[in-house]
């Protein structure tokens, strides 16, 4: 049965219709409700008609909903009521009870917004909501406050669930970072993209230019996802993403060891340091630009020059340390400035000293000690791998046991639900063990990579012995490949080189 038009003809004699409250009466019943509580459509209609007669309201329509749930607003008569409200055909909506109109506070709030927008009042007999009175309006505000509270609490619950999922390493939607694919709600390494990520990190250490890397990838037909061409922004985003360490960032929180890493901590930190320093040197006459650091204050030494009375240029590196309020400091640092030729020669001399017997013998001894420590660390991780593998085997055995019991045993629905919950818990446990396993495997590989090869180091030192300062491009490129930075003191240089994990002090 649809809506019933019971509007009487306008009263004769004058324009009194404008003073009459025109109401829409909404009635709804579900089959279960009608059977158990006797809250039938006839009883609702009789009570509402009596109220309208008492208040001298004119009924525009009866919106009668049969066998419809109040859990949503997908009801034909409810939608007809909304259309009449928007068409300004009624000035008040009346129901017997609030749950006849809606069982959802959020839906009710949306309806109230519609009513307020079109200046339509609302009356519920049972709850005594009557926005034609001051008390009714106050009660409505209270209801809306609780509806807002429910919405915010739902939002918080969803956010908490998503945060918890991220902490477990589960995917919350969207695309995983380049280098990973989403399999069973987890990030797993995508080998083809992994190789590109490793290339980007390794190449940046040498070229120190996101533009150079983007051009190289595009020129060699190495495309991004969906065939996209590379640009600086995409390269920088990859270089700064902690996801490649096996960490997951969610809502400004960083959850550690949630998936298999691609880049080691040491390599990632090195790249972040290079990003802070900026691009490669641009001054051809200053090949040590971006490499020299004041040993006293750890500020960069930057190329500069001055002109004497004869207009002859005097080029030097100066300490960039500044005091408070941007005023250059004139104290503390022993080296305020040092001319190009002087520091270039000191660096060349210190590089030559690397091959001196005394210096190189001490390097060999430290290399042996360094590798021995890494072997011991690998041994510890190998034992942890054995324990993890045993835990995974035990977890799988428990899963098989519960699955067999589900197949062969007779359980109640409640018992089966508990067994399935236990299976889900074991499955999550197994995933976490496997994530730890991949991290340990990665750690062992990284420790292998950190081991020092004496022959490669000899080759690097030989390259540094043959530097030609007159060939500016070659000189600069070789330095950038092998040297991280150089701390400059008055009588000493400290070399931080890529091929050794410790600094080397040279009297020069």
Helix (H), strand (E), coil (C) string for 6-35: CCCCCCCCCCCHHHCCEEEEEEEECHHHHH
Return the DSSP state at 326: G
From residue 196, alpha-carbon distances to 22, 178, 227, 259, 444 in Å are 71, 9, 14, 19, 22
Active site residue 30: yes
| Distance between start and end Cα atoms, the chain | 101
Question: What is the tens place of the pLDDT at every residue in 168-210?
Answer: 778 888 889 999 998 888 889 999 999 999 999 988 987 888 9
- Tell me which of 114-128, 134-148, 468-482 is least confident: 134-148
Question: What is the tens place of the pLDDT at every residue in 262-297?
Answer: 998 888 998 998 888 766 656 667 888 888 999 888
Asked whether the beta carbons of 109 and 144 are under 8 A apart, the reply is yes
Nearest one of 253, 113, 233, 139 to 178, comparing CA atoms: 233
Q: Give the pair of three-digit tokens for residue 481.
A: 């490949």
Count of C-beta atoms within a 10 Å radius of residue 397: 10
Select which of 3, 7, 30, 102 is catalytic: 30
Instruction: Report, at the CATH architecture level, how domain 180-277 is classified.
Output: Alpha-Beta Complex (3.90)
Count of C-beta atoms within a 10 Å radius of residue 455: 7
* Alpha helices (H) in 24-129, listed in sequence order: 31-37, 41-55, 76-86, 98-101, 105-117
From residue 319, alpha-carbon distances to 282, 298, 331, 367, 484 in Å are 18, 9, 11, 34, 18
Question: What is the tens place of the pLDDT at every residue in 51-96?
Answer: 999 999 999 999 998 877 766 788 889 999 999 999 999 999 999 8
Nearest one of 257, 192, 186 to 437, comparing CA atoms: 257
CATH number of 4-156: 3.40.50.1390
pLDDT for the residue numbered 11? 43
Instruction: State percent of the chain over pLDDT 70.
Output: 88
Give the residue range(s) of CATH 3.90.1750.20 domains in the chain.
180-277
**Residue carrying structure tokens 């067999």:** 404
Q: How far apart are CA 72 and CA 171, in angstroms?
A: 30
Q: How far apart are CA 43 and CA 27, in angstroms?
A: 10
Q: Give the pair of three-digit tokens for residue 235.
A: 């390269």
Asked whether the beta carbons of 467 and 478 are under 8 A apart, the reply is yes
Instruction: State percent of the chain over pLDDT 90.
Output: 30
**Residue carrying structure tokens 């025109």:** 22
Residue 371 banded pLDDT, cuts 50, 70, 90: very high
Burial zone of 290 (CB within 10 Å; 0-12 exposed, 13-18 middle, 19+ buried): buried
Give the residue range(s) of CATH 3.40.50.1390 domains in the chain.
4-156
Question: What is the tens place of the pLDDT at every residue in 468-498?
Answer: 777 777 788 888 888 888 999 989 999 999 8
Q: How far apart are CA 501 and CA 258, in angstroms?
A: 28
């Amino acid at each position: 049965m649809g809506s019933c038009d019971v509007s009487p003809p306008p009263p004769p004699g004058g324009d009194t219709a404008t003073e009459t409250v025109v109401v829409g009466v909404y009635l709804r019943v579900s089959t279960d409700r009608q059977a158990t509580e006797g809250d039938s459509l006839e009883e609702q209609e009789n009570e509402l008609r009596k109220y309208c007669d008492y208040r001298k309201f004119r009924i525009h329509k009866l919106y009668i909903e049969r066998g419809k749930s109040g859990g949503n607003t997908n009801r034909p008569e409810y939608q007809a009521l909304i259309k009449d409200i928007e068409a300004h055909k009624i000035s008040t909506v009346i129901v017997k009870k609030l749950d006849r109109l809606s069982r959802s506070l959020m839906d009710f709030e949306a309806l109230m917004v519609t009513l307020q927008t079109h200046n339509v009042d609302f009356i519920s007999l049972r709850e005594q909501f009557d926005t034609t009175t001051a008390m009714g309006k106050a009660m409505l505000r209270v209801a809306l406050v609780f509806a807002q509270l429910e919405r915010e609490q739902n939002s918080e619950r969803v956010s908490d669930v998503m945060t918890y999922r991220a902490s477990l390493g589960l995917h919350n939607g969207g695309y995983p970072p380049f280098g990973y694919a989403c399999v069973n709600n987890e990030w797993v390494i995508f080998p083809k993209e992994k190789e590109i990520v490793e290339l980007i990190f390794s190449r940046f250490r040498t070229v120190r230019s996101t533009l150079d890397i983007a051009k190289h990838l595009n020129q060699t037909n190495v495309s991004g996802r969906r065939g996209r061409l590379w640009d600086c922004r995409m390269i920088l985003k990859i270089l700064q993403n902690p996801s490649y360490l096996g960490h997951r960032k969610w809502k400004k929180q960083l959850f550690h060891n949630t998936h298999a890493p691609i880049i080691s901590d040491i390599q990632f930190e090195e790249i972040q340091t290079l990003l802070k320093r900026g691009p490669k040197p641009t001054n051809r006459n200053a090949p040590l630009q971006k490499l020299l650091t004041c040993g006293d204050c750890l500020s960069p030494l930057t190329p500069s020059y001055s002109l004497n009375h004869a207009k002859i240029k005097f080029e030097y590196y100066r300490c960039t340390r500044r005091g408070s309020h941007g005023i250059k400091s004139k104290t503390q640092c022993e080296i305020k400035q040092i001319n190009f030729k002087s520091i270039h020669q000191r660096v060349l001399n210190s590089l030559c000293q690397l091959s001196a017997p005394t210096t190189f013998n001490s390097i060999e001894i430290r290399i042996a000690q360094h590798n021995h420590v890494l072997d011991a660390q690998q041994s510890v991780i190998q034992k942890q791998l054995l324990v993890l593998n045993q835990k995974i085997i035990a977890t799988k055995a428990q899963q098989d046991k519960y699955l067999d019991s589900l197949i062969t045993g007779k359980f109640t629905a409640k018992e089966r639900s508990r067994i399935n919950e236990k299976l889900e818990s074991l499955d999550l446990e197994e995933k976490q063990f496997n994530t730890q396993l991949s991290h340990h495997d990665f750690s062992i590989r990284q420790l292998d990579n950190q081991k020092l090869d004496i022959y490669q180091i000899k080759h690097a030192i030989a390259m540094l012995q043959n530097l030609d300062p007159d060939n500016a491009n070659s000189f600069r490129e070789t330095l950038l490949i092998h040297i991280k930075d150089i701390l400059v003191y008055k009588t000493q240089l400290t070399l931080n080189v890529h091929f050794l994990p410790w600094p080397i002090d040279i009297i020069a």
